[in-house]
Amino acid sequence: MNFNIRGENLEITDALKDHVEKKVGKLERYFDAAPSSDVHVKMSVINKEQRVEITIPMPKLLLRAEEKHADMYAAVDLVIEKLERQIRKHKTKVNRRYRGDDSLKYMFKNELEPLAEEEFPDEDYEIVRTKRFDLKPMDAEEAILQMDMLGHSFFVFSNSVNGDTNVVYKRRDGRYGLIEPE
């Protein structure tokens, strides 16, 4: 794994970097072949609150978790627990759904213990409501204004510049994000 560790309002010390690499490196035990993906780690301090975000993009799977704590090392440990749970949950779901030889289930080690039924209820993804609406051409700023007027946390619109369908959303930090197709 290639590590990209960056700090926001925080200097990344060698000890902190080693701790992150050691903890994230333990995730390799869940896979048959060690993932050759990049690991993006963002550590920040905002008002004495330590925050860690870890994103591991892999083929057919995106692992991402974030956690806050008063201690940065504890925040790293909590994020790793979340990532381990995601991996176990994904392995359980994959084993239930896909039986073919080319399926995702062969990405994980077989001795990985699946989640117990009470930890992972049988989920049927039931769509309870469908909404249809016209996508009006607009720019991202206008879409943000529309989203705020409606009181929603996201807004789907047709980009007036290139005609693509885009999504603007409100982030937890109060700023905005834009999702565009590649």
- How many Cα atoms are found within 13 Å in the side-chain-facing hemisphere of 34? 9
Query: What is the predicted pLDDT for the residue at 180?
Result: 92
Domain with CATH 3.30.505.50 in the chain: 137-179
Q: Cβ(153)–Cβ(176) under 8 Å? A: no
Contacts with 117 (C-beta within 8 Å, 6 or more apart), sequence order: none
Mean pLDDT of 151-168: 91
What is the pLDDT, as a whole number, of residue 96? Answer: 64
Region label for 132, one of left (φ > 0), alpha (ψ between -120 and 50) or beta (otherwise): beta
Mean pLDDT calculated for residue range 130-138: 84
pLDDT number for residue 73: 92
76 pLDDT more than 80 = yes
Residue 101 has pLDDT above 50, yes or no: no
Residues of the chain with CATH 3.30.160.100: 2-107
Please say if the pLDDT value at position 167 is more than 90: yes
Residue 134 φ then ψ, to 5° = -80, 135
With a cut of 60, say whether residue 66 has pLDDT above it: yes
pLDDT at 91: 74
C-alpha to C-alpha distance for 156 and 166, rounded to whole angstroms: 6
Question: How far is the C-alpha of 144 from the C-alpha of 146, rounded, in Å?
Answer: 5
CATH fold of 2-107 reads Double Stranded RNA Binding Domain (3.30.160)
For the sheet with 49-58, list strands across it.
2-8, 38-46, 49-58, 61-69
CATH 2.60.40.10 for domain 137-179, yes or no, is no
| Mean pLDDT on 170-179 | 91
Average pLDDT of the chain? 81
| C-alpha triplet 171, 175, 179: angle, nearest 5° | 60
